[in-house]
Amino acid sequence: MKISILALFLVLSCTLNQKSFEPSKAEVEQAEKIAIEVADWFEYTTGPMKNERLGQCGDYAVKFILDYNKFAGKDVARLVVANNPVDSGTYRIGKKVDVKALGFNGFSSGSSGFLSWNGQLYLYHPVLGAYEIFLEKAWTPTKHFGVNMLDKRQVHVWASVGNLSVDPTYYDIFKKNFPSPLGKDE
């Protein structure tokens, strides 16, 4: 009984800690710098990905999350998914997984995407690999950078750090409309 209560307390503490995280001014500035670097590093494509620099919105988001969490020295950046084949919501990125060891040899399209394998969700890139993802909060923002995400045709993935929304993809392919990769979700 004591172990169950302790386990519940630890889970709640971790969840509340993530929700209460607010980046400092310096952390926000670093988030913008990393997001711009990620946008400059990738070339957006929806076709086959034959090298690590070709990617889609989920790939941009994962690279930002990995780079930001490395900078921060803590697991605070999250993946936000809207209107995709997996539940809309906020996900924590887990460890990198060797999908070939699982028996998965890539999508026939040669592109990246969500993978559900033996009850575990992954975000997969043919060159960068696959990362476990864990749903922390199911939700769909009303608006993301002013875009109506309740319109189910708006399929997108981005990152967040606390209540700061980070979208290297919009910044990369729509710079004229989105002059900063930072914003808020409503």
Average pLDDT over residues 67-96: 97
Q: With contact defined as beta carbons under 8 Å apart, do 35 and 168 qualify?
A: yes
The token duo for 171 is: 């910044």
pLDDT of the residue at 1: 52
70, 103, 120, 140: CA torsion to nearest 10: 80
The token duo for 66 is: 């990995």
Q: Please write the tens of the pLDDT for every residue from 100-153.
A: 888 888 899 999 999 999 899 999 998 888 999 999 999 999 999 999 999 999
Q: Please write the tens of the pLDDT for every residue from 6-35.
A: 333 434 444 444 456 899 999 999 999 999
Q: Which residues of 62-84 are buried (b: 16+ CB within 10 A; e: fewer)?
A: bbbbbbbbeebeeebbbbbbbee
Query: How far is the C-alpha of 8 from the C-alpha of 14, rounded, in Å?
Result: 10
Query: How far is the C-alpha of 132 from the C-alpha of 111, rounded, in Å?
Result: 17
Q: With contact defined as beta carbons under 8 Å apart, do 57 and 95 qualify?
A: no
Average pLDDT over residues 65-75: 97
Helix (H, G, I), strand (E, B) or coil at 121: strand
Residue 57 has pLDDT above 80, yes or no: yes
pTM: 0.87
Backbone angles phi, psi at 3, to 5 degrees: -65, -40
